Copies of this chain bind each other. A is one copy, B any other.
Amino acid sequence: MELLKEKIRTEGKVLSNAVLKVDTFLNHGIDPVLMKAIGEEFARLLEGKEVTKIVTLESSGIAPAVMTGLVLGVPVVFARKKKSLTLQDNLYTSSVYSFTKQEENAISVAYSHLSKGEKIFIIDDFLANGQAALGLVDIAKQAEAEIVGIGIVIEKAFQDGAKLLKEQGYDVYSLARIASLENGQVTFVEENK
């Protein structure tokens, strides 16, 4: 997605060979117009496929997920990373390790929010080692929902996440695929148009 890549080129900050900061438009600051374009692009990629719900993870997945839900006309549910007073029992849960935050989080979705046979599209902001996406896949499996695909805003293609997900048979739709962050430079995977 050229608009997104351009945004990454101009506003992304390479913090190390593995860490890209995109806090101006995706995971602290949010560019709503770009999010809408992201929703339209996911909808385009899913053309012809039936999706009944978008599933994401708080917090940075919410903006692209809600815009995709708006374009596709389907509801969204976001997995929570912590239990609250109003969301405690009857939960599908899975465990996700965040390398960025260096902590293990239990993520959960209420039983009432995912049903057997639902056709879900999973969305997350980043795909690196795939931990978050695999946690959402685990929850979907517990619910016996059907995973139509996994939509990623920014894939770090030099890490294993996409490979792991594809090996398990899932379609991964990444809007920007980064081949390398070496030498402080963002290099995208060359795509065949």
Contact = CB atoms under 8 A, between A and B. Distances in A.
B19 A70 contact: no
Copies of this chain in the oligomer: 2
A94 B77 CA distance: 29
A75 B30 contact: yes
A83 B87 CA distance: 24
Interface residues of A, number: 42
Interface string A90-128: 000000000011100000011011000000000000000
Contacts of A33: 70, 73
B32 A59 contact: no
A76 B29 contact: yes
A23 B78 contact: no
Interface stretch (A43-51, A60-68, A160-168, A169-177): A60-68
A58 interface: yes
A141 interface: no
Given A87-B23, A100-B86, A102-B85, A113 B66 contact: no
A73 B138 CA distance: 37
Given A86-B21, A100-B84, A28 B66 contact: no
Given A21-B86, A32-B67, A62-B62, 19 more contacts: A19-B85, A23-B87, A28-B77, A28-B78, A28-B80, A28-B87, A28-B113, A29-B75, A29-B76, A30-B62, A32-B76, A35-B66, A35-B70, A58-B59, A59-B80, A62-B63, A67-B70, A82-B101, A84-B101
Interface of A: 15, 19, 21, 23-25, 28-33, 35-36, 58-59, 62-63, 65-67, 69-70, 73-78, 80, 82, 84-87, 100-102, 109-110, 112-113
The 7 closest A-B CB pairs, nearest first, are: A58-B59, A32-B69, A32-B70, A30-B76, A59-B59, A62-B62, A63-B66
